[in-house]
Structure 1
Amino acid sequence: MAHLGGLLWTQQSWLAQASSWIDRELHQQGIKRIGSIKQLRVRHWSTILQVPTSIGSIYFKAVVSDLAYEAALTQVLSHRYPHCMPQVLAIAREQGWLLMPDGGMMLRETLKIEDDIQHWENLLPIYAKVQQDSANYLNEFLELGVPDRRLVVLPARLQQLLTDTETLGLNHPGGLSLLEYQCLQNKADLLVKLCEQLATFSIPETLHHGDLHDGNVFVDDERYMFFDWGDSSIAHPFFSLHSTYGSLERRFDLGKNSLWFKQLRKCYLEEWTEYETEERLEEAFELAQQLSPILAILRWLPVLSSMDAPNRNRYIEAVPDLLREFLSMIQTDEDKL
């Protein structure tokens, strides 16, 4: 299954199997399907089906095997943090199948003008509290299959990546140039130092969403709910705003030094003052931003592995672009170490 991806989701035999499971789970809960199941989205790594029922639309999600932990993790989070997580109707843990009711309006649909970014000021403290509490359950998450991307393992993961010249697109259009590749090899010691320096702060590593943007947060009666945990890992918590910043930057054409980014950083870091002083939190946050492209790369790897070579070529720039971002961020900060 790991390498079939989008091909699998459109096969009639697979759709029949998924539909049968959906109907069985609905029947057990006294929910009646009242129309045909519609395939809303097909990606190489996942698919979403919409199921019309007597209690409204219900959504089914399936993912490639490398991301199958998402279903069990979402169920655990739903039970532990029902105020900000989606309700889960059923899961098939081995297959990585997930069945959920409608979660409300996607935050993306509410962000019409720049001032709507204030939603993030409201929800980031909620997310931070979940991260802090989740630090108590790391072994449980790891047993579910959530990837371990703590600081101590990052240098080895980067070294492993540098041996994968296909993923790096070495000397291919859009891929890494030989000069960039050599520069990354030369920065191996610096990466170790950055990880070691960030580890000196009294900030617990915990659950990191991995793709925290406005398409993965839903708003329902002023409640914020965090969806799509398929890119999550155990990592430093401050990596989480990398995706948030990136999506807002693209959506509203914000500059790197936007006052909005500073404000969001402030409201997020205020939730961590029991661990470090404000000054040290700022320092830790800056270090995390330098390392965050590496985390973003690691979440791409299982996605890319679900594709055949022609489809992987469509995303040839994904990993090289993040490596360039990493090089750019550390280039101006080397003299601080």
Structure 2
Amino acid sequence: MQIDRGAYPDAVTPWDDPAWRAAALGWLDARLEEAGVRETGQRRVRVRPWSVIVRVEAEDPVWFKAASPGSAFEAGLGEALSRWVPSHVLRPYAVDAARGWSLLPSGGPLLRTLEIGPREWEEALTQYADLQLALVPRAEALLGLGVPDARVGSLPAIFDEAVAGNGTLEAAERERLGRFRPRLVAWCEELADIGVPDSLDHADLHDGQILVADPGRYTFFDWGDANVGHPFCSLLVALDRAADDHGQEVVARLENAYLEPWTDGHSMADLRRAAELARRLSQLTRAGSWARLFPAAASIGDPERAAALLRLAG
């Protein structure tokens, strides 16, 4: 097997434990046999501080994913989403929700591998909004699956915990964040008053997490950073990535396309203000996602969490 450790060659993960590796590969072998998948080439392993992924070469490649304990909910979430919003997500071949393991099919090319323009981004973001709207009634069920709670009312407490628990922040940075906290609370109150309901926030939505299932139809995957919170928090990464590729001038166009499905009961002006606030506050939820690493690699996330907190404070 080929092993890719990326920028983290020294990160200790369960892959380095022979017993864990034997159990995971045994589960993978059994699930492949049940699914009737015939391997056609060498397996490739991608080891990161937050997950272990095995690509299985077949007529249509399949992927085994082992999430870190902090993201173990991803397996059960993926299975539930395949029932609740099947046209928007992958349908797993198998999951072990208790261990955070999934076996996933190929879902088409990544959006980032294709020659696309703003129109394709508009279509993808509109369909993503449809997914989130369909999940609004499922917010409590999502929390029951173990998806982290980042609802607007809980963000000040999440902020306090993130600041207190980060050992890389210097005294001046802690003081700066303390001065910022009242503004954070005011933003949260204003955002809550606009009244957009909670849903699933991918928290790392970009063109490497979007598949082109069919012409004009997109599916969304890799939910390990997800939380239950303000849906518009998903815009931060998506719009930044689109602007990198197509220029800052596309941001308003794409934001409008995403917000249009939410206009029932809300003015576009209020939705734009909510999007502005949510994009700011999503730095906090992104800081939280860096805490979801394998325990032996947890310190790797501390500088990233600190940087996100400081970006939030401006």
> If the length of structure 1 is used for normalisation, what is the TM-score?
0.84
Find the counterpart in structure 2 of residue 292 from structure 1. 282
**C-alpha spacing 1:230/1:215, structure 2 compared with 1 (3 Å):** same
Residues in 2 aligned to 1:108 and 1:240: alpha-carbon distance in whole angstroms: 18
Deviation at 1:225, TM superposition (A): 0.9
User: How far did residue 325 of structure 1 move?
Assistant: 1.8
Would the aligned equivalents of 2:13 and 2:297 in 1 still touch at CA under 8 Å? no
Equivalent of residue 95 in structure 2, options 74, 87, 91: 91
Residues matched between the structures, number: 304
Within 1, Cα distance between the matches of 2:230 and 2:298?
A: 32
Query: Which of 216, 223, 230 is 2:224 aligned to?
Result: 230
1:21 paired with 2:45, answer no
User: What are the equivalent positions in structure 2 for 1:116-265 lying under 5 Å apart?
Assistant: 116-166=117-167, 169-171=168-170, 178-222=171-215, 223-249=217-243, 251-252=244-245, 254=247, 258-265=248-255
Distance in structure 2 (CA, Å) of the matches to 1:6 and 1:70: 21
Alignment CA distance shift 1:304-1:248 (3 Å)? farther
Shift of 1:31: 3.3
Alignment gaps of 5+ in structure 2: 1-9
Q: Distance in 2 between matches of 1:181 and 1:248?
A: 33
Aligned to 1:331: none
SS in 1 for 2:222: coil
Change (3 A) 1:260 1:305: farther
Shift of 1:29: 3.1
1:128 counterpart letter in structure 2? A
Whole-Å Cα distance in 2 between the matches of residues 180 and 308 of structure 1? 21
SS at match of 1:99: strand
Structure 1 unmatched ranges of 5 or more: 172-177, 329-337
Q: Is the 8 A contact 1:6 1:44 kept in 2?
A: yes
**Hey, what does 1:69 align to over in structure 2?**
73
State the Cα distance separating 1:186 from its structure 2 match: 1.5
- One-letter amino acid matched to 1:224: Y
Residues 37 and 12 (structure 1), Cα distance of their counterparts in 2 relative to 1, 3 Å cut: farther
Mean CA deviation greater in 193-202 or 226-235: 193-202
Supply the distance in 2 between the matched residues of 1:306 and 1:293 (Cα, whole angstroms).
24
Structure-2 residue corresponding to 1:334? none
Deviations 1:109-162 (A, max 9, x none): 115xxx623321011111111111101111211111000000111101111122
Matching residue of 1:31: 37
Partner of 1:57: 61
Amino acid at match of 1:86: L
Could you say if the C-alpha distance between residues 6 and 57 of structure 1 is closer, same or farther in structure 2, counting changes exceeding 3 Å? farther
Alignment of 1:279 with 2:273, yes or no, is no
Structure 1 runs, 4 residues or longer, greater than 4 Å off: none
What is the deviation of 1:5? 6.8
1:102 matched to which residue of 2?
106
Residue 8 of structure 1, aligned match among 14, 20, 25: 14
Distance 1:305 1:116, change over 3 A: farther
Kindly indicate whether the alpha-carbon contact (under 8 Å) linking 1:59 and 1:101 is maintained by their aligned counterparts in 2.
yes
2:308 aligned with 1:325, yes or no?
no
**Percent sequence identity over aligned pairs:** 32
RMSD of aligned alpha carbons: 2.1
Quote the Cα distance in structure 2 between the aligned partners of 1:74 and 1:68. Answer: 11
Maintained 8 Å contact 1:110/1:116: no
* Aligned counterpart, 2:7: none
